[in-house]
Amino acid sequence: MEMEPNTMRKIDYWIGIPLCFIVTILYKFQRLLGLKNPRCKEDPKNILFIELAEMGSTVLAYPAIKRLKEIYPNSNVHFLIFHHIRESMDIINLVPKENVMTIDSRNIFSMLRDTLKFMLIAREKKIDTAINLEMFARYSTLLSYLSGARKMAGFHKYHQEGLYIGNFLTHKVMYNSHVHTALSFVSMVYALKHPNDVPLPKVPINNEKLEIPKLNSDKKISEKIWKLLKNANPSINPGKKLIIVNPNASKLISIRKWPLENYASLIKKLIEDKDAYVIITGLESEKQDAKYIFDFVKSDRVIDLAGKTTLRELVELFKIGRILITNDSGPAHFASLTNIHIVVFFGPETPGLYKPLSNNCTVIYSHYACSPCVSAFNQRMTPCDNNMCLKSINVEKVYGILRNLLQKK
């Protein structure tokens, strides 16, 4: 179990700010002595991407990693991520497994231990370039420095108030809150080629293709999924309408949830179609939500798989499903690795930045004046205690959208 998000935010603020200040002074002193020259004219050889906490962002990082490999074909790419979402990198399969490093985020002691371990491993791998994909997070910015990299790219505030991350990045990228996050990640790669621009990078990105591959099916995993489904209800088969529901969102931004009672009411309407089967997914810790829906609907065509699948198995489940109904969360992005139609609720965050990279995606967004209230500028922490932007989306509207999609199929 990872550390509570608010605890991590407090550590990042109260410890991160003074550490970033100290490292800034140290870095300036090193440069004064002629050390830590970024050697901008040299192509990077061993590049480290840092994206610790958000599972879905590993999918959004795919175009950036792919573009980097095209620009620097002889480079060796590495990735740093929290241990509990390590599997997400295996699924993306764009970075060699031996090049994926992890940090255990269960508590401050495990993080400190793995940070020291990371420093040693990064030097063994001769990391010369660090690209921090996390937006204004001080811990990941410090990790860029601790990696030993001479080139350090990351989002920088320039003249914006707050969001202090020190001043030791060599490639300071302007964070643009008006372009999709995947494009922001790609711009970080281009920044390496344009080190003297202020702000970075002065290149057009409107024609950038945000394409991610479709994952090949795994026969053994597919057989396991069908076994789980048939154990729950032997009458289920590929000819039925399989609707997958993810009623959860990560603890990092739990306010992204469409009300649970709405999910329950929606599912009750969906199974009025005798060919419809609804599969509820989630983590082991989210089984109570699945149980609430199961008890409310009272149908053997509602199957509870919460806590029963790995992330890779979940993606295989998406491959056999017709529609995924989900909150704005990691599963929405991993579903884009398949052809399933994704219906995703947005409220506290905007689809303009985080819409899944799939052509088969329907966004449900209420466009409230206060939305989005969660952003890179507030460390994903909102003052909202009543997410009306999601509560206002009524069941009948969603049911109408789903019914039309199912008829098209």
Give the domain CATH number at 54.
3.40.50.2000
Which of 350, 355, 351 is CA-nearest to residue 335? 355
Give the pLDDT confidence of 276-293 residue by residue, as tens digits: 999 999 988 889 999 999
Q: Tell me which residue range forms the domain holding 330.
A: 219-408
pTM (2 d.p.): 0.93
Calculate the alpha carbon distances from 7 to 105, 116, 128, 152, 251 in Å: 11, 21, 31, 27, 12
Do residues 242 and 186 share a domain? no
Residue 303 covered by a domain: yes
Q: What is the pLDDT of residues 1-56, one digit of tens each?
A: 667 888 888 899 999 999 999 999 999 999 999 999 999 999 999 999 999 988 99
Residue 326 pairs with which residues in a beta bridge?
246, 344
Say if 362 falls within a structural domain: yes
Q: Are 246 and 298 within one domain?
A: yes
In a domain, 68, yes or no: yes
Q: Residue 184's pLDDT band (boundaries 50, 70, 90)?
A: very high
Specify if 212 maps to a domain.
no
Q: Which of 137, 172, 191 is the last residue of a domain?
A: 191
Q: Is the dihedral of CA 263, 265, 267, 269 positive or negative?
A: negative
Q: What span, in angstroms and rounded, lies between the C-alpha atoms of 124 and 127?
A: 8
Which range is least confidently modeled, 243-257, 339-353, 362-376? 243-257
For residues 174 and 255, membership in a common domain is answered with no
Same structural domain, 308 and 349: yes
Write down the residue that tokens 């399969």 correspond to.
93
Tell me the per-residue pLDDT of 200-232, one tens digit each, with 9 for 90 and over.
999 998 888 888 999 999 999 999 999 999 999
- 209 within some domain: no
My answer on whether 165 and 245 are in the same domain is: no
Residues 172 and 136 in one domain: yes
Number of compact structural domains in the chain: 2
Residues 113 and 234 in one domain: no
What pLDDT, on a 0 to 100 scale, did the predictor assign at position 1? 61
Does 262 lie in the same domain as 146?
Answer: no
Least confident range from 252-261, 310-319, 365-374, 399-408: namely 252-261
Q: Is the pLDDT of residue 346 over 70?
A: yes
- The 3-state DSSP class for residue 309 equals coil
Residues 226 and 345 occupy one common structural domain: yes
- pLDDT, mean of residues 241-259: 89
Q: What is the pLDDT of residue 9?
A: 87
Q: Which has the minimum average pLDDT: 60-74, 176-190, 205-219, 332-346?
A: 205-219
Residue 250: band (very low, low, confident or very high) from pLDDT cuts 50, 70, 90: confident
Claim to verify: residue 149 and residue 251 sit in the same structural domain: no
Query: Does residue 395 sit within a domain?
Result: yes
The torsion angles phi and psi of 217, rounded to 5 degrees, stand at -75, 145
Q: Are 13 and 136 in contact (CB under 8 A)?
A: no
- Asked if pLDDT for residue 409 goes beyond 60, the answer is no
* Res 139: pLDDT: 96
> In this prediction, what percent of the chain has a pLDDT beyond 70?
99
| pLDDT for 263 | 97
- Side by side, the strands of the sheet bearing 151-156 are 100-103, 76-82, 46-50, 129-132, 151-156, 171-174
**Residue 77 parent element (H or E):** strand 76-82
Structural domain includes residue 47: yes
pLDDT at 381 over 90: no
Whether 201 is in a domain gets the answer no
Residues 165, 272, single domain; the answer is no
- Burial state string for 260-289 with b = 16 or more CB within 10 A and e = fewer than 16: bebbbbbbbbbbeeeebbbbbbbeeebbeb
- Give yes or no: residues 393 and 254 share one domain: yes
